[in-house]
Amino acid sequence: MRSPSHTVPALAAACVLALSACSGPDQDAPQAPEPSAISPDTVVLCQESDDCGQAGAVRWSRPLQGGFYLDRPQGFEHAPYLQPAGHWLDYGVPPTGAVEDDGVLYLHDVDTITAVDTATAATLWTEPVGVAVDELRMVGATLVALPAPVRGEVAPPRFLEVDREGAHMLESDLPQDMGAKVLASDDTHLALQESLPGTSDEDPRHFLVEAATGRVEWSVRLAWAGSHAVDEGTLYLGHSPLEGRHHIIAVRDGEQVADLDLPEEAGRRSDLWPSLAGPLLVEPYSCAPVEEHCEEDRITAVDPADGEVLWTHTALGNIVSVSDGDEPRVYVRDEDGYQALDADTGQVLAQDDEIEPSELLAAFGAQRPEPSEGMDEQDYNLLPFSPTGPGVEERPLEGLAAGAHHLTSYLAPDGGAVGVYTGCAPDGLRPPAMDAPVGDPMCAEPRVFAVDY
C-alpha cells in the first residue's frame, strides 16, 4: 500500500501549479504531441494504410477500457509505463497482460479476461474471473489465470476452457484459501507451490495439477528449491545451496524417484528445462560478472534417470525454447547468434535465419532507453521503444506511444513475428489535475496495439 502522502489529491494540484517541482526537468509549456497511428478511438487495421508486415508498422490497435495513468518512477530514473489507475493506491493491482494462442489474444485487465481476434482486433468475448489476474498462461488448450495478491487477499489459479466462442471455468480441487506460486508447466500439467508467510518454518506444499480438469494429481511437502521443471508428470527441483551438495530431485506421484548431482559444467546456479522424452537440460542462471569462472558455465544435458552428462554446449549461452516431436530441438542464443541443437546430442543443426521465427518467438521483445539527465518532460513521457529479436534491426519507434510496454509476441498468418503492447496515444496524455485519481499524468486514450517486427 502506498503511503498516505503519496495519495493525497493535493499533490496533483501541486504538480499543476508547480510542474517543475514534480516532474523531472522543468520545461516551458511544450506543444501538444502529434497524433500517431494508435490515436483513433476505434479499431485500426494495417490494411487501411497498406503496410501490413512492414517492420515497425502497426498491425492493429484498439482502445483499452478503464482508467490508466503514466507511472513515472520517483526521480525519473527509468522509463514510464502505462498502468491501471488502481495501481496508484495499491501496487498489488497488476498491469495489463496477455498471452496468444491459435489466433486469439487473451488479454487480462484487473479481474476480466478479453479474447481478441488477432486478424481483426475484434472482441470475441469477455469473462470476469473473480480475482485480479497477475498472469495468463496457456497449458495445452487450457487458459490458466494466476491471481495477484491485491490487498493481501490470496486465491488459487483459475482454470478455463477457452475457444473463439467463449470460456468455461473449471472446478479445481485446490484449496480455495491458498495462495500459490507457479513453478513450471508443460503441455498437460502445472506445478504449484503454496505461498507461506516468511515466518513459517514448514516446507511448502507442492501440487501437480492436470490443467485440462483442474484436478490435483498429488501434493506433498518439499523443501524450497531454486529451479523447477515439469515433464510428463514428473516434477524436477534443483537445489543449489551456498554450501553443500548441488543436486536435482525428481518427484512422481508424490514420491521422490531420483536424486541427481547437478553437473559442474552448468555453474553454481542453474535453471532446468525438460525435453519431452529426452534429456533434462541444465542452463546457467543469470551469470553474474562477480562470479569466478562464470565464463566457463555451459548449457548441459543430463540423463533424467541417472544424471549422466550427455552433452555440453560449446559456448556460454541461454535457452530460448525447446521443441518436441520426432526430432526434438533445443534453441539457444550464444556468442555466435541463435542456434538449433539436436536435443539428444547437442549437435548444431541450424543457425540464425535458417531457424523459423516460430521456434524463437520467446526471443522477440522490446527495449526502451534510460532517460538522460535534463531531458524535456514531454520527451521523457514519450520515450520510444525499440522492437528487438532475431534478425530485427533495432530502431526506436518515435512518437508512437507513451509508456509503451511489451506484453507478448505471436506469429502472423504470413509467418512473421508480431509484438503486442499497451501504451497511451501521444495526444492522449493529460497533466495531473485536482480531480484526477492519481498524481501522475492521466491517459485519456489508452491502447493495446500490435507492431510487426
Q: Residues 145-173: pLDDT tens digits? A: 999 877 767 789 999 999 999 999 999 99
Residues 119 and 177 in one domain: yes
**DSSP letters spanning 147-207:** EP-GGG---PPEEEEE-SS-EEE----S-TT--EEEEEE-SSEEEEEE---TT--SPPEEE
Across 208-217, 369-378, 379-388, 417-426, least confident range: 369-378
Residue 91 in any domain: the answer is no
pLDDT at position 294, please?
A: 62
3 state DSSP class of 88: helix
Give the number of domains in the chain.
Answer: 3
Residue 356's pLDDT band, with cuts at 50, 70 and 90, is very high
Residue 287's pLDDT band, with cuts at 50, 70 and 90, is low
Residue 107 in any domain: the answer is yes
pLDDT at position 444, please?
A: 95
Residues 114 and 215 in one domain: yes
Residues 72 and 1 in one domain: yes
What single letter denotes the amino acid at residue 158? Answer: R
DSSP 24: S
Q: For residues 33 and 9, is the Cβ–Cβ distance under 8 A?
A: no
Residue 268 in any domain: the answer is yes
Q: CA–CA separation, 302 vs 93, rounded Å?
A: 41
Q: CA–CA separation, 237 vs 240, rounded Å?
A: 10
Q: CA–CA separation, 145 vs 160, rounded Å?
A: 8
Range of the domain at 287: 229-246+262-364
Find which of 179-183, 293-297, 344-348 is predicted with most confidence, using mean pLDDT: 344-348
Which CATH number characterizes residue 233's domain? Answer: 2.40.10.480
Residue 391 in any domain: the answer is yes
pLDDT at position 30, please?
A: 64
Q: Which of residues 364, 381, 400 is at a domain's end?
A: 364
Residue 255 in any domain: the answer is no
Q: Taking all residues of the chain, what is their mean pLDDT, rounded to a whole number?
A: 88
Other CB atoms within 10 Å distance of the CB of residue 16: 15
Is the per-residue pLDDT at 234 higher than 50? yes
Stronger pLDDT, 27 or 140, i.e. the higher one:
140
pLDDT above 70 covers a percentage of the chain that reads: 90
HSE toward the beta carbon, residue 182, CA cutoff 13 A: 21
Q: In the chain, count of helices (H) and strands (E)?
A: 4, 35
Residue 184 in any domain: the answer is yes
Residues 360 and 373 in one domain: no
Q: For 395-417, how does the pLDDT look when each residue is reduced to its tens digit (9 = 90+)?
A: 999 999 999 999 999 999 989 99
Residue 285 in any domain: the answer is yes
Residue 155 C-alpha cell reads as 486465491
Other CB atoms within 10 Å distance of the CB of residue 57: 17
Q: CA–CA separation, 314 vs 332, rounded Å?
A: 11
Q: For 86-97, how does the pLDDT look when each residue is reduced to its tens digit (9 = 90+)?
A: 777 776 678 899
Is the per-residue pLDDT at 215 higher than 60? yes
* Mean pLDDT of the region 108-115: 94
pLDDT at position 72, please?
A: 86
Q: CA–CA separation, 92 vs 442, rounded Å?
A: 19
pLDDT at position 292, please?
A: 52
Residue 257 in any domain: the answer is no
Q: For residues 164 and 149, is the Cβ–Cβ distance under 8 A?
A: no
Residues 302 and 421 in one domain: no
**Exposure class string for 329-342: b at 16+ Cβ within 10 A, else e:** bbbbeeeeebbbbb
Residues 49 and 156 in one domain: no
Going by C-alpha positions, the residue among 444, 450, 397 that lies closest to residue 421 is 450
Burial of 373 (0-12, 13-18, 19+ CB in 10 A): exposed
